[in-house]
Chains A and B, each alone.
Chain A
């Protein structure tokens, strides 16, 4: 009896495991399959999982200057935004962690609170500001707006990391004659590397995926991948193979990070969730 239960338990566990994996990966698998087949395959049921791959959709996309421009824009936006978020976030976190002024508590609290302000309350007024400054559809404007939007999260994650570094390390560096900036750059930053990595990968994914900011603040001349993917779908037709192929391309960096930097992504999600 006991053995039967044990076997049943193992089978049950196996079924749950298969369901979990299938449910999580099915959409990606479907998009990959559709992107490698002729256009009509998206409308054929059941989906064919075994086929001779046809890369012509990818070839067409990379020959299309609009697509290449969107890809380059997305890479630029994400790299600039991530670097700024990590760098400015680390500087601010170091300041809040090491220099306790009478404002520190209030500042940290306000930065934490600013995360509850919805994106729309920010992005519509920015549209208004940018329109008068002629910053709409500009890379600089988009990078700055997104950096400002993601900075509070970066600061909070890095503040937790730096608060865990004992101040005796700073003092040792100061006795050796290092100034504030040298202490930060040569001592604190290298120790915080795991926290910096967690912040970087999380920010990277968030900016890479961003749609609303681009839709409102750009989208005419400056188009990014999520923006482009949304335009393949019009009232008249839905270009499924194009959607699938460009989706797969835009999933590649995220997938790569999940495989290579899973630990940092999980750390970033956890740090963002559990505050204090």
Chain B
């Protein structure tokens, strides 16, 4: 059907070609940067993880198979970094989600101060992390620390928070909770303010008390938001670095050496690129797996919601 190729079709086809060019031209610069400085490095880490690349030696890198993975998985430093990260991230996430939700609920009332409260809460979240680490180093200091001073006012004994292995992780948790609870509170508050008023009013008419309203109506409606916040915070929390680098430097011993600090000290400082790359690859693999699981769960929930 040659006749059907009219002038109009040609124009349309030409427009489609130019628009494809335009699409890639507009996308090009951003894509190139992301490709070169995000994707390539990531793939490079995977590639290097199978070699014995080492900055200090000039010999060409050799393929060593899975040897680096065996070394890293067997290394006490790597294992301890994983344990430390979990021991700090899990309590921090639990506390900041709990306190953040409470603050959001408290602010979700018609009060004059809500706008001011939101501005005030932006301060801890947006403060330079290095400054936060410095402040808390002084705050927790055994000799000159403000915490010990205020505790003394309450009649409590001073404590060497940052050098005692029993308390140093909790000091990091405390710092993190101070730093990131506002994020949870602010995003949850935005979600609360976006919920429809009808549901709440219906609950009031039915004579539900405050606790019932919270568990039966607010919480289920908030769950998607809380889930998203938890995922984002979790992804952020496992990348903890700046504040801890300044607060403890990973010490005492390896007590607060979280994954990023381990990678920095063991990999970067000691120039063992091959082994570090395999550690990075292992961690990336774990994160991507968690991300995929979260995505599947969300898809399933969406599908369930649609069916309902």
- Residues of A near any B CB (own CB < 8 A): 13, 16-17, 20-21, 23-25, 27-28, 30-31, 42-43, 45-47, 88-89, 91-92, 94-96, 98-99, 101, 107, 111, 113-129, 144-145, 147-149, 151-152, 155, 180-181, 184, 205, 208-209, 211-212, 215-216, 225-227, 229-230, 233, 238, 240, 243, 247, 250-251, 254-255, 257-259, 262, 265-266, 269-270, 272-275
Q: Which residues of B contact A184 (CB under 8 A)?
A: 26
Can you give 8 A-B contacts (C-beta < 8 A)?
A: A24-B182, A91-B29, A121-B45, A251-B131, A254-B126, A258-B122, A269-B187, A274-B191
| Given A101-B23, A118-B283, A270-B190, A247 and B134 contact (CB-CB distance below 8 Å) | yes
Q: Which residues of B contact A257 (CB under 8 A)?
A: 126
B42 touching A117, Cβ below 8 Å = yes
| Given A91-B27, A226-B128, A243 and B178 contact (CB-CB distance below 8 Å) | no
In the complex, A240 Cα to B139 Cα: how many Å? 12
Q: Which residues of B contact A122 (CB under 8 A)?
A: 37-38, 41-42
A211 touching B20, Cβ below 8 Å = no
B146 sits at the interface (CB 8 A): yes
B123 touching A28, Cβ below 8 Å = yes
Q: Which residues of B contact A94 (CB under 8 A)?
A: 26
Nearest-CB residue, chain B, relative to A123:
B41
B5 sits at the interface (CB 8 A): no
B134 touching A259, Cβ below 8 Å = no
B130 touching A230, Cβ below 8 Å = yes
Q: Which residues of B contact A233 (CB under 8 A)?
A: 134, 137, 246
B284 sits at the interface (CB 8 A): yes
In the complex, A124 Cα to B41 Cα: how many Å? 8
Q: Which residues of B contact A25 (CB under 8 A)?
A: 120, 123
B94 sits at the interface (CB 8 A): no
A sample of 18 more A-B contacts (CB under 8 A), given A88-B33, A114-B39, A251-B127, is: A21-B117, A24-B182, A95-B27, A107-B31, A117-B38, A117-B284, A121-B281, A124-B267, A124-B276, A128-B44, A145-B37, A148-B38, A149-B38, A180-B22, A230-B130, A238-B137, A247-B135, A251-B128
